A and B are shown apart, each in its own frame.
Chain A
């Protein structure tokens, strides 16, 4: 099995505490979300309609899409509240120094 390749996403300071920051890595929109001392990376398009999840609200390890209120678990990407029924992709990510790195499939 090959080692996952981590790509630099953005400085850690760009991701607000208990908030989200949208970036594009290799043409893939990624929402970076910080809660406590954890960081998560999700595909930055709601599975319900074309809306960036990085503009949503963050609470209880959940991101809530601002437009229709779909909720997704930050750890699994699974929908926890309607109208979305399909999961969004999650990506492994880590903090190295002051930078955030994400591994895309």
Chain B
């Protein structure tokens, strides 16, 4: 009998990348850049956010414009509502959780359906020093809401965003990183989905010197459905990094991850890490993740690493894909045979590449703003 027991997989995922968790930054040690989770990030450009030296404070203003059905408030660090849905899994996340002064708390009461998007504006005022933030967005059972996180200005900022989605609730989050050229932003979004809850999370990263955004999803009950989308455009010198993690620990949950990006200019760098773990108990899981990169000029760099770790044989679907490539000559040639100039043809193909992603964003004003921003990059 004992020999048979050894054949049953009961262990936690073997990668261990997301397994070390602590609220204490000291438990992680200062990264050197050799660690798997930091090896793509230019640590010297983080202005000490990953270090242990105290940093002078820089000002970040957070303003909330809630829908009428939504309750918006604040909470001090140590408030029992905060930090229940996650444990930080890297040093900067732990440091942000140990350092923020006041959290923004957005609550959607049970059964309430928000009639318009709730806007949260995060504005950086200066880039010297560092700022830490925390946001909790909680949906009680069967609530429904759209929340937009709009980041602008100059800053050195690290924060955690908790998305706690009750049973049967539906949350749509759009996080727009539209920072000034000198901004450094390291952010973790932690979503916890209740039974039959649904999350649509869209990250749009256009501005900033270094942006590292790590959305993660965990499930508290069966039937959860998470849709994670992303769009980024890296210009010369920009480092835009997205690290996705979906932890399937409940049966019959679904996840979809789809990120699209374009790069142009010397030393434009995009990093995409897409991790999915399917634990032994998560039977009936349906997951797919993909990343598409369009390299528009020489001198850019893309690192795209999808990882799937499947610890049960009873999955519904599990797959991943990644591509990084140039514009296709044949597409351009076809358009040019129709009398369209090279520049217009190039713009049309790129517009098509991003078009579907932008069309899925639920907030019309944002669709227009993002379309205009992408057009401006191509001008």
Contacts and interface: CB of A to CB of B under 8 A. Distances in A.
A3 interface: no
A50 B33 CA distance: 7
Contacts of A51: 33
Interface residues of A, number: 5
Interface of B: 33-34, 39-44
Contacts of B44: 29
A49 interface: yes
Nearest first, the 8 closest Cβ-Cβ pairs linking A and B are A50-B33, A50-B42, A29-B44, A49-B39, A50-B39, A50-B43, A50-B40, A51-B33
A36 B168 CA distance: 72
Nearest to B40: A50
Nearest to A51: B33
Grouping DSSP codes into helix (H, G, I), strand (E, B) and loop, the A interface class, with mixed when no group exceeds half, is: loop
A49 B36 CA distance: 12
Given A49-B39, A67-B34, 8 more contacts: A29-B44, A50-B33, A50-B39, A50-B40, A50-B41, A50-B42, A50-B43, A51-B33
A82 B42 CA distance: 21
Nearest to B303: A49
Interface of A: 29, 49-51, 67
Nearest to B44: A29
Nearest to A27: B44
A49 B32 CA distance: 13
Contacts of B34: 67
Contacts of A29: 44
Contacts of A50: 33, 39-43
Contacts of B39: 49-50
A11 to B, nearest CB: 23
10 contacts: A29-B44, A49-B39, A50-B33, A50-B39, A50-B40, A50-B41, A50-B42, A50-B43, A51-B33, A67-B34
B159 to A, nearest CB: 24
A51 B43 CA distance: 11
A67 B39 CA distance: 12
A83 to B, nearest CB: 13
Q: Which of B39, B41, B43, B44 has the most CB of A within 10 A?
A: B44
Nearest to A29: B44
Contacts of B43: 50
B236 to A, nearest CB: 15
Nearest to B42: A50
Contacts of B41: 50
A29 B34 CA distance: 17
Nearest to B41: A50
Contacts of B33: 50-51
Contacts of B42: 50
A69 B36 CA distance: 19
A51 B34 CA distance: 8
A24 to B, nearest CB: 8
Nearest to A48: B301
A38 B42 CA distance: 31
Contacts of A67: 34
B182 to A, nearest CB: 13
Contacts of A49: 39
A84 B41 CA distance: 18
B270 to A, nearest CB: 15
